[in-house]
Amino acid sequence: MPDKSAYPIQLIQPDGRRVFDREYAALVADIGPEQLRDLYEDLVVTRRIDIEATALQRQGQLGLWAPMLGQEAAQIGSARALHPDDYAFCSYREHAVAYCRGVHPTELTRLWRGVAHSCWDPHAVNMTNPNIIVGSQGLHATGYAYAAHLEGAEIATIAYFGDGATSQGDLAEALGFAASWSAAVVFFCQNNHWAISSPVRIQSATPIARRAYGYGIPGLQVDGNDVLAVLAVTRQAIARARSGGGPSFIEAITYRIGPHTTADDPTRYRSAAETEEWKRRDPIDRLRKLLERESLWDEAFERRVAAHADEVAHQVRSATIGMPDPAPMALFEHVYATPHPLITQERSEYAQYLAGDPGEAAVHQEGVHS
């Protein structure tokens, strides 16, 4: 008989039936009818935000967007397991995590429109802004968790990354440090099967979660399209971290239905049949089927959720199109944490140039043509 531990943890089957799992079902025993409905609403609203942002990019209103279509359950389930004082370190696709952490939807597109260097205030929601450098957030999460421990704070951090990031040296270093320091960090890998055009099979010849074993860190695989299972395993890992048990590694098996970013064409490297197969495992459809099975679904609820999603999407669109361009002098803000003489000089020269000073304009033009 195959070892059951080799299978990803699952609490809801694709057809909506529950899976009896004594250990993990107990971790979400408090999720009753209203909580299930709330999770469904989160899934629908965040997908609607993602679709609207993708449309905005296609219409020239955003420079770029990294769609999360198909990965909503992995993000919602894990984010809803965090405590308010826990800190999330993201990559560039965790729009649903940001929504759960309290980021207002109208802030999600600021960076992608090119009007700011960030989207939201990280201190207000205990979550970092989109991180483009692949894998570096693992080190940031580990260092933050260790520093918090030294200060006596009983919190956890979580680092979100994709399967491609597991081939980065930064992540290997983070796992090593986290194990050595027993840092309160949860490494959360959204294995969406594609690192741009590179399939996961060339990232690792073994399940990614098993890489954690070599560092002495427990690792497990979970069905990333099952919001309840993801919530359960993340709750377990967060509790372990907050109680001093050290780091954990979660590999959420999911799939990127759309492109890597809106600059990518996935039809060049994967088949339509593969994508269609994963669409049949859609996380939203799965939870809806569970609600239907348990008589928690009706048309009034469906209309309310759809109306909420449409209203949030309208807010995102209106806010994005109405975002003002940054003031030119804002270019010099936040370059250094403390005053710097070179920045002070350059700010003064640029201000004179903008004011139309002939001498400064001549210097500028000479620099342009040299």
Catalytic residues: 256, 260, 269
Other CB atoms closer than 10 Å to residue 126's CB: what's the count?
Answer: 17
Length of the chain: 370
**Whole-number Å distance between alpha carbons of 278 and 347:** 52
**In contact, 70 and 256? CB cutoff 8 Å:** yes
**In contact, 171 and 204? CB cutoff 8 Å:** no
Secondary structure class of 283 (helix, strand, coil): helix
**Whole-number Å distance between alpha carbons of 85 and 156:** 8
**Whole-number Å distance between alpha carbons of 236 and 231:** 9
Q: How far is CA 330 from CA 69, 205, 324, 354, 368, in A?
A: 34, 47, 13, 13, 21
**Whole-number Å distance between alpha carbons of 263 and 266:** 10
Q: What is the dihedral of CA 58, 316, 321, 57, to 10 degrees?
A: -10
**Whole-number Å distance between alpha carbons of 156 and 174:** 15
Secondary structure class of 280 (helix, strand, coil): coil
Number of H helices, E strands in the chain: 14, 7
Residue type, 297: W
Helices (H), the chain: 22-26, 33-58, 72-79, 95-101, 110-113, 122-125, 136-150, 169-181, 227-242, 272-279, 283-293, 299-321, 341-354, 358-369
The structure tokens listed for 152 are 């006596």
Secondary structure class of 94 (helix, strand, coil): coil
